[in-house]
């Protein structure tokens, strides 16, 4: 299991946070998503044999989130 932290500009209000959680939790290999609303920090725990951090970042960018 891997843990990575990324910063998403939009992850500071309720609607985008819900969208990010929902989007990432649908991906195969995502174990847990934690968000810090004060600075847009997104901590992702995932199975790095199923998904890479690059795939996670690409998915967020495809849904118009800014990393």
Pairing of strands 30-36, 41-46: antiparallel
pLDDT score of 37: 85
Residues 6 or more apart in contact with residue 5 via CB below 8 angstroms: 41, 42, 43, 44
**Per-residue pLDDT tens digits of the chain, which is 67 residues long:** 999 999 999 998 899 999 999 999 999 999 999 999 889 999 999 999 999 999 999 999 999 999 9
d(CA 1, CA 39): 25
H or E stretch covering 22: helix 14-25
Chain centroid, CA 12 distance in Å: 13
Indicate the domain borders of the chain. Answer: 2-62
- Would you identify the CATH topology of the domain 2-62? Alpha-Beta Plaits (3.30.70)
């Amino acid at each position: 299991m891997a843990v990575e932290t990324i910063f998403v500009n939009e992850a500071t209000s309720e609607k985008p946070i819900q969208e990010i959680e929902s989007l990432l939790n649908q991906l195969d290999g995502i174990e847990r998503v934690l968000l810090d609303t004060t600075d847009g920090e997104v901590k992702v725990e995932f199975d790095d044999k199923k998904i890479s951090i690059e795939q996670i970042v690409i998915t967020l960018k495809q849904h118009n989130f800014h990393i």
